Structure 1
Amino acid sequence: MEKLERLRPIRCFFFGLCCVLVFVCSLSWNVMKNSPWHPRNIFICDTHPAENIVFPPVEEPDVRLERMLYPKPETLKPPRTDVLTITPWLAPIVWNGTFNSDILNAQFHKRGVRIGITTFAIKKYIRFLKDFLETGEKFFMVGHKVNYYIFTDRAQDIPNVTLSEGRNIHIINVTAYQRWQDVTMRRMQMIRDQTYTRFMNEVDYLVCVDVDMRFYGSVGVEILGDVFGTLHPGFFGASRAQFTYDRNPKSVACIPVDEGDFYYAGGYFGGIIEEVYKLTNYCHTAMMTDKAIGIEALWHDESYLNKYFLYYKPTKVLSPEYVWNNYYGSPRAVQIKRFIGIDKDYKEVRFRR
C-alpha cells in the first residue's frame, strides 16, 4: 500500500503528459490538414486535386489542319518492295514513292519551320553557285522559309539570283586554303562554329551540301529529321568489303572490315541544329587529332562522317536519289535523280586558280 502511494505522483505526471501530447497532436492534425505533408495527403490517393492548387495557364496548340484527300495507305501493300526502306535501327530510308509530299508539307507548314542550307563556293567553285541557286529556287523546299548560307572567299562574285518570298542569301566570308583537301576538311569546323554562333538563332534545320551540284527534282521536307545522312551513289549496292572506309588502325576514322552499315556521301548531311553541331564537332575534333600525329584520312571529311554515323546512327537515311552522279548510269532502283553532280575537270577547278 505504501508502495502504491509512492508511485501516485509518477502516475499523475505521466497521465498529464499523455493529455498534453493528445492535445498537441490534435491541434497539429488540424493545422496541417491542408499541408502536403499531412499523413492523409501522403498515404491516401485522392483522385481529385485539392481545390487550392492552381495550375499555370497553358497555351493550347493550334492543331487544326486543312481537309486532305489522298489514297489510304495499305498495310499489306508497301509502296516499294525493290529496295530497303527502313534500317535495322528503325530509321526510314527515303526513296521515291515512299512518302506523300502534301501530307508532309501540311505538317511542316503548321510548325512554321525555318530551313538553312550551307554550301561552299570557294576559289573556282564560285562558278557553280548560280546554277545551284537557280535550280534550288525551283526544286529545294519550295514554299518554305529558306536561308542559303554561302561560305566563300569571293563575295564580290556572288551572282544576282531572284529569290521567292521568305528566302534569303547570307554570305559568310572564309579563308581559301591552299590545298583543296584542307578546304573540304575545314568545312566541318566552319559549319560547327557558325552553327554555335549564328545558325541556332536563325533556323530549325540545317542541310549541308556541295555547290558543284544542281537540283533536277523536288527536294522537300521529307529529308528532314533529327540527323540524316545520304547513301553514296557508288556504294548503295556494295558489300562491306567494297566500302572505301579508312582502314588505318592509327586513324580516328578507321572502321574495321567486319563493321559498317552503309557508305554515306560526305556532301549531303544535316538535321536539327543541335545534332549538326554534334556531328561537325566530332568530325573536326577527330581530324585535328589525326593531324597532330601526321595522319590524313583516306577520303577526308567523308571518312570521319562515316565513322560518326557508324556509332551514332542517323535517324533518317536518304537514298542516292538525293546526291546522284551521272557517272553511275541509271539503275532501276533510282526512279528519280533529284540532285546531280555537274561534270567538270577536277584538276582544273581544284588545282588552278
Structure 2
Amino acid sequence: MRSKRKLLLLTSLVSWLWLVQRYLRNHQAQELGLSDWFDPRKRPDVVTTTGWLAPIIWEGTFNRRALRDHYARRNLTVGLAVFAAGRAAAGHLEPFLRSAKKHFMTGYRAVFYIMVDDPHRLPDLEPGPLQTFKALPLAQDRGWHDLDLVRMRQLGELVADHVWGEVDFLFSAAADQVFQGDFGVETLGSSVAQLHAWWWFRAARDFPYERRPRSAACIPSGHGDFFYDGALVGGTPLRVLHLVEECLKGVLQDMKHGLNSTYESHLNKYFFLHKPATLLSPEYGWDAVLHPPAQVRYVKVLRHPKAAW
C-alpha cells in the first residue's frame, strides 16, 4: 500500500513537472525578443541601453506594431495602483484618473486600484472599455511619518490581499501626476524603474544617494547607476512585492539605528542591488517646473510641482 502511494506521488510529480516544462517552453516561444521591438539606434541623442543591457524607453525606440501584434495574442491584464490621501485625493485624484482612463494601456484590460482615506472623496467617474475600478480603503498608519513609506507598506498589502491572480503586471503611481500621452505595453517588464527627471541630465557624483555607511540605503561614493523616481514603479506582482519587502526591511533597520532615511533612498539602493529589467526615460515622469530639453520629445506623464500640492 505504501509503495503504491509512493508510485502515485511520483507519477503526479512527473506529470506536474511535465506540465511546468511545457508551459515554460510555450511561454518562452511566445516571448518577444528585445531586438524584435526595441531599436536603440533610433535615438543616438540619448542613452538607450544600460550597462546590464536593459532598455531605456524613449519615444522612437520601440515598434508599436510589433508590440501590439505580440500582446494581442496574450491574455494580458495590467494593474495601476494609485494612493491618494487628504489634499492629494481632493486635488489630484480626479485628473489622474481621467487621464489614466484615456492613456493607460489603451486597448488592454486594466484594473485601477484606487486607495483613498475617505470614500466620499472618490470622483464620480465610470471606467472605460476593458477597464475596472476597485476602490479600497487607505488605512491610517500613525507609526510612519513619511507618506511615501506608508504608500509602500500598503502597496505590499495590496499585492498580497488583492492583486495575486488578477493582473500580469502592476504599476504603482503617486496621484500628483497626469498622463498626457500613450502609456502602453512598451513600459512592461519584470521590474520597471522610472528615471528621475531632475537628475537625468546631471553627473552621477551629484546624485542625492544616501551616503551614511550605517544606513541600509547607503550607496558608497563612486558607485551607483542612475537616480530613480519613486513616483512610479512597476513589474510583475512578485517583483513589486519583493521591492516593497526589501525597502521596508531597510527602513526598519535604519529606524533601529536611529536613522531617518527616505523612501527614495531605499528605492535607489534596491535598484542598485537588483537591476531593473526596463527603465522608463524622463518622458514618462517629467516635472512641470522644468522646461523639457530637446531630448525630451514627448512628455507622456507630467508631475505637478510640489508647491501646488
TM-score, normalised to structure 2, is 0.85
Q: Does the 8 Å CA contact 1:177/1:183 hold for their aligned counterparts? A: no
Q: What does 1:31-70 correspond to in 2, within 5 Å?
A: none
**Identity, % of aligned positions:** 31
Instruction: Within 5 Å, give how 1:1-353 maps onto structure 2.
Output: 78-126=41-89, 127-177=91-141, 181-297=145-261, 300-343=262-305, 345=307, 349=309
Two-structure CA RMSD over aligned residues (Å): 2.6
Q: In structure 1, list runs of 5 or more residues that go unmatched.
A: 1-54, 66-71
1: distance between equivalents of 2:134 and 2:160? 16
Cα deviation, residue 61, structure 1: 6.6
What is the CA distance between 1:78 and its match in structure 2? 2.1
In the alignment, the residues of structure 1 paired with residue 293 and residue 62 of structure 2 have an alpha-carbon distance, to the nearest angstrom, of: 21
Equivalent pair of 1:176/1:183 in contact (CA under 8 Å):
no
Match of 1:42 in 2: none
- Specify the SS of the correspondent of 2:294: coil
Residue type at the aligned position of 2:296: V
Q: How many residues align?
A: 282
Q: Which residue of 2 aligns with 1:49?
A: none
Mapped partners of 1:74, 1:344: distance in 2? 34
**SS of 1:105 mapped into structure 2:** helix
Q: Distance in 2 between matches of 1:343 and 1:337?
A: 15
User: Deviation per CA, 1:243-290, whole angstroms, max 9, x where unpaired?
Assistant: 011111111111111100000001111101111111111011111111
Aligned to 1:133, the other structure's residue is in SS state helix
Matching residue of 2:4: none
Residue 188 of structure 1 deviates from its aligned partner by 1.6
The one-letter amino acid of 1:121's match is: A
Instruction: Spell out, residue by residue over 1:85-138, the C-alpha distance to the aligned partner (whole angstroms, 9 max, x if none).
Output: 111101011000000122212212211211001111111110211101111111
Could you list the per-position Cα deviations for residues 37-77 of structure 1 after superposition, in whole angstroms to 9, with x for gaps in the alignment? xxxxxxxxxxxxxxxxxx98x79979xx9xxxxxx9998x9
Gaps of 5+ in 2: 1-17, 31-35
Please report how far the alpha carbon of residue 326 of structure 1 lies from its aligned counterpart in structure 2 after TM superposition. Answer: 2.2
- Which runs of structure 1 show a deviation greater than 6 angstroms over 4 or more consecutive aligned residues? 58-62, 72-75
Cα gap change, 1:159 to 1:314, in 2 (>3 Å): same
TM-score with structure 1 setting the length? 0.74
Change (3 A) 1:156 1:250: same
Separation of aligned partners in 1, 2:177 and 2:37: 34
- Which amino acid counterpart does residue 304 of structure 2 have in structure 1? I
Report deviation, 1:182.
2.5
Which residue identity does 2:54 align to in structure 1?
Answer: A
